[in-house]
Structure 1
Amino acid sequence: MIYIYLILILLLSTTVKSQTIIDIDDTTYSTWNNTYSDYYKKDLNSLLELFQGTYLYTSGNTSFKIVLEKKIKQNVGLHFEDLIIGEYQYIKNGVEKINTLSNLNISYSDQFLKHGIAGNSIISNINNRLWKCPQCNPNEKRAVLRIRDRVTDRYANILMRRTVINGQQVMQVKINNVNTVSYNVDTESPPEDFSLPLGEFIMIK
């Protein structure tokens, strides 16, 4: 009987063990990642909610639409994270190049890896090397996500800043840092160019 009690106590102590919670805005995240395997990277101050919505960039008959949603406590490897996930539609010169918007409602086992847009990194420094922003307020929060080009299966950063221009809510976006792909120049063809728009542009909400 004593063994049964010991097993019950062990199970109970495992069940009630509190999960380590860290803020997505915690700059020491890499230290936590190396120290703990079971933790929850949580949006404690609702920063990700700023970026939810549908945003559209147009220039003539070229357009780029993204739809972003916040997801709570998503499984990422051995831990959990609050995430922004999203999908997109790209029309170039009147021709639809790619449309992944229908994937937005799919709940993948790994939301970060599978969705067209995903992430939760927050930057606030106006001189951040990823995207300097002299016009930003000192405490303004911007987001850095990852965007996946499903045509070429290449990735890039998508940096986002919510602001207001002429009374209109907009998203300033910068897409850059496309991942490099190694290949054998003697036996393989060069990788395809990233097919989504690169650079900075304004998207209307």
Structure 2
Amino acid sequence: MKNLFILTFIIFTSLSCKAQTPIIDIEKKHLAWKNPESYINAYFKDINNFYDGFEGTWVGTRGNKTLKIVLKKEEKIPNDIPYFTDYMYGEYQYIEDGVIKINTLDNTDRFKTGIKGSSLLKSHHKPPCADCDLNKRRLRIGFFDRVHNVSATLTLQHTTVNGKPALKGLMYGDGGSYNAANPPKHLYMVIPTGWWTFIKE
């Protein structure tokens, strides 16, 4: 009986070890697309905590336009491949001439998140960055406009404004194709693209 218990324990321990989730630096996440089978059940983790510096509430102002974004780091989110990954989620509010044009801050539906993404960019990654801190990373996230049903990309870079933490952001369209004979109702987001500077609240 004792030998049976020991044998059972050894088999269970062996199977548990094989089922463990290997932890891989999230900056190597792009490798999963090249050979997805080799990364099944892997966990792409923000080992260097690059995401942490982007968390919080940030407010950008351009003349009569104000864009507030709220970003949060989520850890070990399951993916379809399947693997797990750290991720950035968020919501936003856009105001123009004192009127709220779009507001997703109260959204609780994970499948209709206003902001999400996980790409970390080095200085040479597009769009290139001449003044980036080599010890930090930019964040590239998807920005979803549920009013016009279009999307854009937002890249965020750490900076400082008047001694306060800030993010320098470039919002640009994805350039999606469409049928010219039957174009969509809206081609552009409610929020204007271009450069934004966000100050941390």
Q: Same fold (TM over 0.5)?
A: yes
* TM-score normalised by L of structure 2: 0.82
Deviation sequence 1:13-69 (CA, Å, 0-9, x none): 554421122111226343353532322111111111010011101233321000001
Deviation sequence 1:170-198 (CA, Å, 0-9, x none): 1100111324142360xx34340222221
Give the fraction of aligned pairs with identical amino acids, expressed as a percent.
Answer: 32
Mapping for residues 1-205 of structure 1, pairs under 5 Å:
13-16=14-17, 17-26=19-28, 28-31=31-34, 33=36, 35-77=38-80, 78-103=82-107, 106=108, 108=110, 113-125=111-123, 127-128=124-125, 130-183=126-179, 185=181, 188-192=182-186, 193-205=188-200
Deviation sequence 1:134-165 (CA, Å, 0-9, x none): 12233331111111111122222110011112
Q: How many pairs are equivalent?
A: 191
Task: List runs of 5+ in structure 2 lacking aligned partners.
Answer: 1-6
SS of match in other structure, 1:68: strand
* TM-score normalised by L of structure 1: 0.81
Structure 1 distance, partners of 2:72, 2:147, is: 22
Structure 1 distance, partners of 2:57, 2:92, is: 10
| 1:3 aligned partner | none
| RMSD over aligned Cα atoms | 2.6
Query: Does the 8 Å CA contact 1:66/1:88 hold for their aligned counterparts?
Result: yes
Structure 1 distance, partners of 2:37, 2:175, is: 24
SS of match in other structure, 2:27: coil
Query: Does the 8 Å CA contact 2:72/2:88 hold for their aligned counterparts?
Result: yes
